[in-house]
Chains A and B, each alone.
With several copies, the nearest count.
Chain A
Amino acid sequence: MDFRFTPEQEAAREEYDAFFDEVMKEAPENWLGTLEDVYSTKEGNDFHRRVARMLGEKGWLTMVWPKEYGGQEATRVAQLIFLESMGEHGAPGYDTQGVGMLAPTLIRHASEEIKREFLPPIARGEVTVCQAWSEPNAGSDLAALTTRAVEDGDDFVLNGQKTWTSGAHFADFMYVIARTNPEELRHRGLSYFVLNMKETPGLTIRPVLSMDGHHLWDEVFFDDARIPKRNLVGEKNRGWYVVLSGMEHERSSLGGWVIECNQHLKKLVQFCQETNRGSEPLAKKPLVRHRLAQMAIEIEVGRSLQYRLAMLADQGALPMHEASAAKLYASELYTRFSETVMEILGLYGAVTHGSKWAPFLGTFEFLYQMAPGWELAAGSTEVQKNVIAQWGLEFPRPY
């Protein structure tokens, strides 16, 4: 047992910190350090892309990729150190959907041709990627999806509707799961595709605004959208297995919330020291101390879980239910954190972005509305618990 960073890791961390310190000086005004920054405004997305290219140049987007695709085959721990530094700075540039989800899937399942087409721009940070999986009637139960893909000459022709596609309005590439064999039910008969959105006719993107009014998600409509056959990833009708391997990546990479909470917590501590309500600073009030300390504890627990996951992955032994447990913990922490902050901020916490009276530019007013949504994204709390029950505890499928 050894939780010490190697001298190389310590040095890397310092390099990352210095880099992000510098980069974040150029962040747009009102930068908050949440996903909303990247997806909601053109300005934020531009900054994200600028940083992404810099990260690409440094090779920091691809550290854990195999060397043959331009990676360094670094450990997950090494990558986590990078992601922590990024998270602590509230910096963008790392496209989870592209670098974290699509790329590992392509490396494992795609043809060489597709890898050569799609991996390099991701590695260079030149593109952003979106995931077209969920449908209006297929959320937690993804396998109920009905978007069709029919072979036609050299192409697949797609028809149907996706939704909750984060950032489709800024994305370049998209990966889709669609039904190629309508005779087969549920997870049988699905196939996985990757596509370049600019080169795909028949694609319509419409915004879905979140409760607080931000534009993160989109609906995606396929109207006879044509994708070359070579864009099939994995075998036809066996796309579900490609999806599953991606899910694991997604769930295990979502610990970013823990780091985001830690970044917010530090700001809050300072705020509570500087802010009087009544006769003393908030920081002196026992209930405030109690609540923030509990958050610090839960963040510590979550951080410990992230490192455990990274170490298990490095040992080549990351069971599916461990990834689910980490996603579950992080998403619930994110919600509790957003609630706790609102309890502390009181009336001020409810003031919306745009008023001088909104502390932290209104971050927590919208986090309070956004955070619990992550208990649904990437597999709802119930789905994660089912996975853990069945894979981690060997329970039967529940009634």
Chain B
Amino acid sequence: MNIAFTEEQEMLRTSARDFVEKECPARLVRQIEESEGGYSPELWRKMADLGWMGLVIPEEYGGVGGSFLDLLLLIEEMGRGCLPGPFLSTLVLGALPIMAAGTAEQKEEFLPKIAQGEMILALALTEPSARWDAASIAVGAVSEKEQYIINGTKLFIEYAHIADYLLCVARTKDAPTGRGEDGLSLFLVDARSPGLKCTPFKTIGSVPQCEVVFDNVVVPAKNMLGERDRGWPVVKDMLERGAIAKCAESIGGARQVVEMTVAYAKERVAYGRTIASFQTVQHMCVSMLSYADTARNITYEAAWRLSEGLPCAKQVASAKAWASEAYERITKMGAHLHGAIGFTRDHDLGLYYRRAKAATLAFGDPDHQREVVAREIGL
């Protein structure tokens, strides 16, 4: 057993941290937030030039064949700097499933472009039911000759409006059981397809989400990812990786908020002394540290299990529930300790505060995760 990262991983972290600090200061984060697309093509290009888009893509497709843990390290550092953009979406929800379930042709078509930073993907899973389970999928795909026709509405789809392709989860057969896991298929849908309409809206986390309406959208059969009707295991794996990636992003942000707050407490003076000298302030900072450390532990332990292919549904759900709530509490305490300034638009704390709530909701909120855990422990 070994809790340490490899030297290479530590180097990757250092260079990622340097990059994020230098290339994505809070000022730029705010600019990007205000922009239509919610990401910066220049920044995206720079990241691609560093090889980040190809980090987990096999060498044969133009990547460097890194591990899932490497990817998480990167995402943790992006979380630390609130770096906006469709990285998680394109890599974790796009590249990884294509690598896992794609045909040779699909890999050939998509992976090199992703690796070069020339393609953005978005996962079109959730619908107006706002749930993350198989049974809630109502968008349907009907086969007709060599193609499928998709109809229905997806909602809360992050970055769909700037994506080149949407990975759409659709029902290709009515499910016989209540859980609806049977009969789902995945499609790589060209975002420029006729009949596809994306309407973005703003959210607390500053990531644009979209309503995506499929109105007789035609997808060639070769764009089906994985087996017909048996798409759920791919989705499930994607959701677990997405959840852990969101945990990584959260713990990056959480650690930064702890550091910011501790530093501020040592500097801010009230009643003639630094507020760091008040016991209640110290104890609140201790709680923040404890949340950050425990969230980080359990995240990487679950991530490791996931990347080793070990059973990990309980660990992933536990990590997601705990890291989400930890991030929320940390940002809340951090804002409180900063005083009123922590609640202003100009202060960086708000960036984290808002992302913490968004992270909680992504890939299943704590109630959803607790239900997963309940099933896993035999309830």
Contact = CB atoms under 8 A, between A and B. Distances in A.
A and B together in one complex: yes
Interface of A: 1-5, 77, 134, 136-137, 139-141, 144, 163-164, 208-213, 217, 265, 269-270, 272-273, 277-278, 283, 287-290, 292-294, 296-298, 300-301, 304-305, 307-308, 310-312, 315, 325, 328-329, 342-343, 346-352, 354-355, 357-358, 365, 368-370, 372-373, 375-377, 380-382, 385-386, 388-389, 392-393, 395-399
Nearest to A392: B289
A273 B339 contact: no
A342 B203 CA distance: 13
Interface in B323-355: 332, 335-336, 339-341, 343-347, 349-350, 353-354
Contact of B129 (A134, A277, A296, A350): A277
B301 interface: yes
18 contacts: A1-B300, A2-B304, A4-B308, A139-B340, A140-B339, A290-B374, A301-B297, A304-B301, A308-B297, A311-B1, A315-B3, A328-B290, A349-B361, A351-B209, A352-B203, A372-B335, A388-B286, A399-B278
Given A278-B136, A354-B202, 17 more contacts: A1-B69, A164-B340, A210-B343, A211-B335, A293-B371, A293-B377, A296-B377, A300-B318, A301-B297, A307-B301, A315-B3, A346-B365, A350-B204, A365-B203, A369-B343, A369-B354, A393-B286
B304 A1 contact: yes
A325 B126 contact: no
B367 A343 contact: yes
Contacts of B136: 278
Contacts of B357: 342, 350, 368
Interface stretch (B84-92, B108-116, B182-190, B268-276): B268-276
Interface string B348-379: 01100110011001000101011101101111
Given A289-B379, A297-B373, A393-B282, A3 B276 contact: no
A310 B340 CA distance: 29
Given A1-B2, A3-B301, A395-B282, A380 B339 contact: yes
A392 B283 CA distance: 12
A21 to B, nearest CB: 20
B290 A329 contact: yes
B125 to A, nearest CB: 12
B345 A213 contact: yes
Given A278-B131, A352-B201, A300 B344 contact: no
B373 A293 contact: yes
Interface string B232-247: 0000000000000000
Contact of A273 (B262, B266, B282, B379): B379
Contacts of B346: 208-209
A136 B344 CA distance: 13
B43 interface: no
Contacts of B282: 385-386, 389, 393, 395, 398
B280 A382 contact: yes
Interface string B112-156: 000000000000001001110001100000000000000000011
B40 interface: no
Contacts of A300: 298, 314-315, 318, 322
Given A1-B69, A269-B377, A273-B378, A211 B294 contact: no
Contacts of A392: 286, 289
B367 A287 contact: yes
B203 A293 contact: no
Interface residues of B, number: 87
A383 to B, nearest CB: 10
A289 B371 contact: yes
B211 interface: yes
Interface string B40-76: 0000000000000000000000000000010000000
Interface of B: 1-6, 9, 69, 126, 129-131, 135-136, 155-156, 201-205, 209, 211, 262, 265-266, 269-274, 276-280, 282-283, 285-286, 289-290, 293-294, 297-298, 300-301, 304-305, 308, 314-315, 317-318, 321-322, 332, 335-336, 339-341, 343-347, 349-350, 353-354, 357-358, 361, 365, 367, 369-371, 373-374, 376-379
A395 B1 contact: no
A265 B377 contact: yes
A82 to B, nearest CB: 14
Contacts of A208: 344-346
A66 B163 CA distance: 60
A272 B129 CA distance: 14
Contact of A277 (B130, B332, B370): B130
Nearest to B362: A347
Given A1-B300, A372-B343, A77 B1 contact: yes
A308 to B, nearest CB: 5
A288 to B, nearest CB: 8
Contacts of A355: 201-202
Contact of B130 (A305, A346, A382, A386): A346
B319 to A, nearest CB: 8
Q: Which 9 A-B pairs have the closest CB atoms?
A: A355-B201, A209-B345, A211-B350, A293-B370, A141-B270, A389-B282, A398-B279, A289-B374, A293-B373
B199 to A, nearest CB: 9
Given A351-B201, A357-B201, A396-B277, A277 B131 contact: yes
B358 A278 contact: no
B174 to A, nearest CB: 16
A357 B155 contact: yes
B274 to A, nearest CB: 8
Contacts of A3: 1, 301, 304-305
A348 B365 CA distance: 12
